[in-house]
């Protein structure tokens, strides 16, 4: 159910593809260079904004599933509302732009109220030696559906260009999100190994945060790893627009770019799941950052649409290797005691990193009008992240050996 929940959720988002589909629609509606750069990160950044406000409540809960399922249902509704507004009522370009941008923002803000409770719940559910493959299977489901999504996006936008076509894509997205929520409702919660933390006054809770963070030097370095590890997302806000404009292809051909990235993500997930189960998340994060540097170096040499298909293949491979590694490493790096708060701190820092990186990317493109300059900035960020990451040890216990198939794991 964990794999189906995430697989269906991300498969639904593949039909509106914040990384490839929405940026060009925002551009067509008159969005600025800065806003176009922000589109791929809006949902993820919004997810991370409210975590620290609700972490004390989450830490005090004995059962997490009712809380997770309630807010999980609410967070899916903005995409239905956006689809209805696009299809059923005529809108000006300014109104459409607001709908397209605000749907992921509202979804992320509501989802952010429950995301750390969800992360704590599934971290308890999934044994450490299966966490990497658990994330990878979720992304693989997304990739398989995404292969179909690439073709569907192309055909819908050919037949229904503009707001009507994007409205239907939002409806398809919402259908998959409903399947995701139904899967989530069937998950069986595992009792926590850690007793609920007594509820604190919020002022007292906030005063304790700096001390918690200072007690975890590896966590502080991981925040730097994440901050500079935004190379893939700095690229992608303009990448589909650049590929279509440079090669002279039609807007509907962004579906083919999506298809190429989904094929890359499938292979990336397969690799990351197998390697991450054996070695933990750090080593595959190192690989993903090295691959980002190579991609940034090659990008200025690409001049054909087939070349851009290859770029999106490598981008999909590297990004999803990075996501599997990041989720695996973060879950194991945070101490079990007060883990929701540590995850909320990481998430808030990530939101700041996403918005800062996307804003910087948009600023550089606005000043230079050069995708090569954006690629250079992304490569420098990836290189700094790689250097910091190499100084972090793998946190997975060296003596841990996964149980043999068919055997029960040892009980602590």
395 lies in some domain? no
pLDDT tens sequence across 100-124: 889 989 998 998 888 888 888 888 8
Average pLDDT over every residue of 17-29: 80
Residue by residue, DSSP assigns 348-407 as HHHHHHHHHHHHHHHHHHHHH--HHHHHHHHHHHHHHHHHHHHTSPP-S-TT--PPPTTS
pLDDT tens sequence across 48-104: 788 778 888 887 887 888 999 999 999 999 999 999 988 887 666 678 888 888 998
* 12 pLDDT above the threshold of 80: yes
Average pLDDT over every residue of 389-412: 53
**Could you list the residue range(s) of the whole structural domain that residue 379 is in?**
2-186+215-390
- What pLDDT was estimated at residue 93? 67
**Residues 302/311, Cβ–Cβ less than 8 Å:** yes
407 lies in some domain? no
Q: Which residues contact 227 (CB under 8 A, 6 or more apart)?
A: 349, 352, 353, 356, 357, 385
Residue 316, domain CATH: 1.20.1250.20
9 lies in some domain? yes
Split into its structural domains, the chain has a count of: 1
- What pLDDT was estimated at residue 80? 95
* 260 pLDDT above the threshold of 50: yes
- What pLDDT was estimated at residue 168? 92
408 lies in some domain? no
- What pLDDT was estimated at residue 86? 87
- What pLDDT was estimated at residue 90? 66
Using the structure block, give the residue that is written with the tokens 């030696």. Answer: 129
Q: Which residues contact 320 (CB under 8 A, 6 or more apart)?
A: 139, 143, 264, 265, 268, 269, 272
pTM, rounded to two decimals: 0.71
User: What does the alpha-carbon distance between residue 158 and residue 252 come to, in Å, rounded to a whole number?
Assistant: 6
* 195 pLDDT above the threshold of 80: no
- Mean pLDDT: which of 234-238, 262-266, 386-390 is highest? 386-390
308 lies in some domain? yes
* 335 pLDDT above the threshold of 60: yes
- What pLDDT was estimated at residue 405? 37
**Residues 261/348, Cβ–Cβ less than 8 Å:** no
Query: What are the start-end ranges of the E strands in 257-337?
Result: none
402 lies in some domain? no
Average pLDDT over every residue of 144-153: 83
- Rounded to 10 degrees, what is the CA torsion of 139, 142, 148, 150? -80
pLDDT band at 45 (very low <50, low <70, confident <90, very high): confident
Mean pLDDT score of the chain? 82
202 lies in some domain? no
* 401 pLDDT above the threshold of 70: no
pLDDT band at 357 (very low <50, low <70, confident <90, very high): confident
* 160 pLDDT above the threshold of 70: yes
* 334 pLDDT above the threshold of 60: yes
403 lies in some domain? no
pLDDT band at 192 (very low <50, low <70, confident <90, very high): low
Dig out the tokens for 277 from the structure.
Answer: 């189960």
């Amino acid at each position: 159910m964990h794999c189906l929940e995430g697989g269906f959720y991300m498969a639904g988002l593949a039909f509106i593809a914040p990384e490839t589909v929405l940026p060009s629609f925002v551009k067509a509606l008159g969005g600025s260079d800065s806003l176009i750069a922000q589109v791929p990160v809006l949902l993820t950044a919004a997810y991370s904004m409210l975590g620290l406000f609700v972490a004390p409540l989450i830490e005090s809960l004995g059962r997490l599933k009712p809380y997770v399922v309630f807010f999980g249902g609410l967070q899916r509704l903005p995409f239905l509302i956006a689809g209805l507004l696009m299809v059923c009522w005529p809108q000006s370009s300014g109104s459409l732009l607001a709908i397209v941008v605000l749907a992921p923002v509202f979804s992320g803000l509501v989802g952010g109220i429950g995301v750390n409770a969800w992360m704590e719940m599934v971290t308890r559910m999934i044994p450490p030696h299966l966490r990497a493959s658990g994330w990878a299977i979720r992304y693989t489901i997304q990739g398989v559906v995404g292969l179909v999504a690439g073709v569907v996006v192309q055909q819908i936008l050919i037949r229904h260009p503009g707001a009507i076509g994007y409205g239907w894509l939002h409806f398809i997205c919402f259908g998959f999100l409903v399947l995701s929520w139904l899967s989530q409702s069937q998950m069986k919660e595992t009792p926590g190994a850690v007793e609920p933390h007594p509820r604190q006054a919020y002022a007292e809770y906030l005063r304790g945060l700096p001390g918690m963070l200072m007690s975890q030097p590896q966590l502080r370095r991981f925040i730097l790893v994440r901050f500079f590890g935004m190379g893939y997302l700095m690229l992608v806000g303009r990448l589909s627009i650049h590929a279509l404009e440079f090669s002279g292809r039609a807007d509907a051909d962004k579906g083919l770019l999506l298809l190429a990235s989904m094929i890359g993500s499938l292979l990336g997930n397969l690799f990351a799941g197998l390697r991450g189960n054996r070695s933990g998340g750090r080593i595959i994060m190192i690989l993903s950052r090295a691959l980002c540097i190579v991609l940034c170096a090659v990008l200025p040499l690409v001049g054909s649409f087939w070349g851009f298909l290859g770029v999106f293949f490598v981008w999909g491979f590297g990004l999803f290797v990075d996501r599997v590694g990041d989720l695996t490493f973060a879950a194991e790096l945070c101490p079990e005691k007060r883990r929701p708060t540590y995850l909320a701190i990481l998430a808030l820092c990530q939101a700041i990193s996403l918005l800062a990186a996307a804003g910087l990317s948009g600023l550089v493109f606005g000043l230079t009008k050069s995708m090569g300059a954006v690629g250079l900035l992304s490569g420098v960020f990836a290189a700094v992240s790689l250097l910091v990451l190499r100084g972090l040890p793998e946190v997975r216990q060296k003596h841990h050996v996964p149980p043999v198939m068919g055997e029960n794991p040892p009980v602590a």
